[in-house]
């Protein structure tokens, strides 16, 4: 197996683990059913192939202690603490590898510093996703940069950049946005606490 094949496997595994994490965040008291990852438009053979691929990934993640499978085919799973830590560590520090995933895979899903688009086109995309007030939120996030702890500047700025990218994405994920906000909160100085709370309210309370 060559390096490209390994990277593709890692991407698929990370994508499934991230999806499980986001589903888990919606309801932390239930199992996650991987059948929902299989498209309804696929024919029988394609569905079986997709199910086998996801099942193989689930058993791999289970073998690493990131999830626990609760069915013979591995399609019903429970997210373990190590799985939560793996995703949250990768989001907080997209410039560092985790125990299971290299930087290239993490940054494929989580923007590193400097990769966020700027300009009117980006603002237009944000407004299409969230609403007209989003430009205000982006400006508040940029203002928040001045209130990040000096001893954690790189990590804090990386999270703010990643949050901007998530907001500007085609299908922003609320659980991922909440995760970024939680991470950013760890690095905000007292002088920026009110600003941080305002940003959180606008993103999560439906004001945008």
pLDDT class for 63, splitting at 50, 70, 90? very high
pLDDT of 129 reads 43
Q: Is 16 exposed, middle or buried (0-12, 13-18, 19+ CB in 10 A)?
A: buried
Q: Are strands 32-33 and 76-79 parallel, antiparallel or unpaired?
A: antiparallel
Q: What is the pLDDT of residues 157-198, one digit of tens each?
A: 988 988 888 887 777 777 788 888 888 888 899 999 988 888
Range 195-200, long-range pairs (CB < 8 A, 24+ positions): 195/140, 195/143, 195/144, 195/147, 196/144, 196/147, 198/140, 199/137, 199/140, 199/141, 199/144
pLDDT of 114 reads 36
pLDDT of 3 reads 62
pLDDT class for 83, splitting at 50, 70, 90? very high
Residue 100 has pLDDT above 90, yes or no: yes
More confident residue, 143 or 177: 143
Percent of the chain with pLDDT over 90: 23
Q: What is the dihedral of CA 42, 44, 49, 55, to 10 degrees?
A: 90
Would you give the DSSP letter of residue 35? G
More confident residue, 115 or 84: 84
Question: H or E element: which one contains 181?
Answer: helix 174-185
pLDDT class for 133, splitting at 50, 70, 90? low
pLDDT class for 147, splitting at 50, 70, 90? very high
Which residue from 34, 24, 78 is spatially nearest to 55, judged by alpha carbons?
34
E-strand spans in 87-132? none
């Amino acid at each position: 197996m060559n390096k490209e094949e390994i990277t593709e496997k890692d991407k698929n595994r990370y994508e499934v683990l991230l999806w499980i994490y986001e589903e888990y965040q919606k309801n932390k008291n239930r199992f996650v059913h991987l059948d929902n990852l299989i498209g309804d438009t696929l024919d029988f053979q394609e569905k079986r192939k997709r199910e086998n691929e996801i099942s193989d990934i689930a058993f791999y993640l289970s073998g690493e202690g990131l999830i626990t499978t609760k069915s013979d085919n591995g399609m019903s799973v429970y997210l373990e603490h190590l799985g939560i830590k793996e995703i949250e560590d990768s989001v907080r520090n997209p410039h560092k590898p985790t125990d299971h995933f290299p930087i290239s895979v993490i940054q494929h899903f989580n923007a590193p510093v400097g990769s966020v688009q700027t300009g009117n086109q980006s603002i237009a995309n944000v407004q299409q996703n969230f609403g007209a007030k989003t430009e205000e939120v982006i400006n508040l996030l940029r203002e928040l940069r001045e209130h990040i702890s000096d001893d954690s500047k790189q990590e804090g700025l990386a999270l703010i950049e990643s949050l901007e990218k998530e907001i500007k994405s085609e299908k922003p994920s609320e659980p991922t946005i909440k995760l970024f906000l939680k991470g950013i909160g760890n690095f905000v100085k007292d002088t920026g606490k009110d600003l941080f709370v305002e940003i959180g309210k606008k993103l999560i309370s439906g004001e945008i």
